Amino acid sequence: MIAKIIKPDYPLSKFVESIYCYTGEASGMRQQIIPDGKTDLLLNFGTAIYILDDDKSKRVITESIFQGIRKRPYTFEFGKQLNIIGIRFHPLGFSSLFRFREKEITENPVNAELIAGNTIKEIEEKIAGEPVVSRKLAIVVKWLYDFFIKRDKTNLKVSDALDELNSSKGLLKIKDIADGEAGYKRIQRTFSEYIGISPKLYSRMLRFDSIHNELRKLSNVDWMDIVAKYDFHDQSHLVKEFKFFTGATPAEFLSKIDLYV
């Protein structure tokens, strides 16, 4: 399987966390998706994507979809061939570019054409006609810049505050990044009206994502160092956070870390 991930340059980076491409053999491959506060657009080129629900039933998706913010982990399973390009939006990035609020995209995938209209088919045709992966991703970047030019500028102040929160890996307190009490209330209200989760939960998601990324790079893990570095009360607090986001203990998570994204 070929995998390529790029980070867009500023100013698009304020709205889009990453753009990724997966292609090749993938029969039966599973990925456990950790809630991270992001909204994804999956441009699908003939891939059968199965979503495993809590009751172990499977729902198959064959079209391009928007996947909204999830508050609990879930599992994707892929068919024989994998051929997708994904765009991961920061909170408020999706709503600024596509003018739909994040909370309007439920945890159930939504057909991408219902949100973005005929432009989805147009971008799919352009990508399908380009054999080189790097050029496919360049087409996506240009397409997103067209939305950026016409973006909604309503929540610029909150978006700037979120930049600080993202940079801190979720370790800053919301009151630390807010412009006084009025700014704090604005952030709380914007999260409620647009995103559908609290800023506190999003901070926890950022922190856990940072822990996940760090664990991937470590050959030996000192759990008490993780506790101290990421501002947990104690190791019990850390264990509860792992179970909340993955359903597994830290040791169980580490033993199958390659399954998680």
Q: Which CATH architecture has domain 2-149?
A: Sandwich (2.60)
Q: Give the containing element (helix H, strand E) for 227.
A: helix 223-229
**CATH classification of 154-261 is 1.10.490.10, yes or no?**
no
DSSP codes, 79-143: -SEEEEEEEEEPTTHHHHHHSS-GGGS-SS-EEHHHHHTTHHHHHHHHHHT---HHHHHHHHHHH
pLDDT in the model for residue 159? 92
What are the structural domain ranges in the chain? 2-149, 154-261
**pLDDT in tens for each of the 261 residues of the chain?**
678 999 999 999 999 999 999 999 887 788 899 999 999 999 999 999 998 876 667 889 999 999 999 888 888 888 888 999 999 999 999 999 999 999 998 778 899 999 999 999 999 999 999 999 999 999 999 999 999 999 999 999 999 999 999 999 999 999 989 889 999 999 999 999 999 999 999 999 999 999 999 999 998 999 999 999 999 999 999 999 999 999 999 999 999 999 998
Q: Look at residue 51 in the predicted model and tell me its pLDDT.
A: 87
CA-CA distance, 211 to 207, in Å (whole number)? 6
In contact, 17 and 88? CB cutoff 8 Å: yes
Q: What is the pLDDT of residue 6?
A: 96
List the structure tokens of 82: 């994998």
Count of alpha carbons within 13 Å of 3, Cβ hemisphere only? 5
